[in-house]
Structure 1
Amino acid sequence: MEIASNLRSRIQEAHERGRRGEVAGLGATLAAANAKLDTMRQPAQQRSQPTDLGMPRMRA
């Protein structure tokens, strides 16, 4: 994806400039982006389970 590619480019640039903190931050962002993309690739049935809301109650 374009986002991940952009982050990898920014990490490389920060590494070349010696910006260790920025490299670490962008690395964490890239890991989160990859996790989100992996979740989006899963079929909807695997991502969520039905939620039991119980029976509705009448209020007096």
Structure 2
Amino acid sequence: MLRPDPAERPRLAEIRDNLIDRIGEAKDEGWLGEVEGLETSLAGAEEKLAQMDASSARRASAIDLGMPTFSQIAGRATATPGPAPSSTS
């Protein structure tokens, strides 16, 4: 899956706005086939914008869990095994 570059969001928004204007012009001129094609392109542009917004929202809501220190990791106690039971018959 290709991911759109967030830096290109203003350009994609401009393309979307242009498509909206072109759809209006095509409807005024009665170019129904052109309207259908432009609406398909508009749906794709709006979907990419939604993906960009969702991706930005996920990145903004990320939580930094921090890096554990050595003492937090090494300070854990472990059970030491006792002497092995002797088997006498």
TM-score by length of 1: 0.68
The answer to whether the aligner puts 1:15 opposite 2:44 as a matched pair is no
Query: 1:42 corresponds to which letter in structure 2?
Result: A
The runs of 5 or more residues in structure 1 that have no matched partner are: 47-60
One-letter amino acid matched to 1:20: L
Moved over 3 A (4+): none
CA deviation profile, 1:11-50 (whole Å, cap 9, x unmatched): 0000000000000000010001100110011136x5xxxx
Q: What SS does structure 1 have at the residue aligned with 2:52?
A: helix
Match in the other structure for 2:3: none
1:8 and 1:36 mapped to 2: Cα distance?
A: 16
Percent of aligned pairs with the same amino acid: 44
> Where does the alignment leave 5 or more consecutive residues of structure 2 unmatched?
1-12, 59-89
Matched position secondary structure for 2:17? helix
SS at match of 1:43: helix
Greater mean deviation of Cα atoms: 34-43 or 17-26: 34-43
Task: State the partner residue of 1:2.
Answer: 14
Please tell me whether Structure 1 or Structure 2 has the larger radius of gyration of its CA atoms. 2
| Amino acid paired to 1:43 | S
What is the aligned-residue RMSD (CA, Å)? 1.7
- 1:30 corresponds to which letter in structure 2? L
User: Normalised by the size of structure 2, how large is the TM-score?
Assistant: 0.47
1:41 to 27, 50, 53: 53
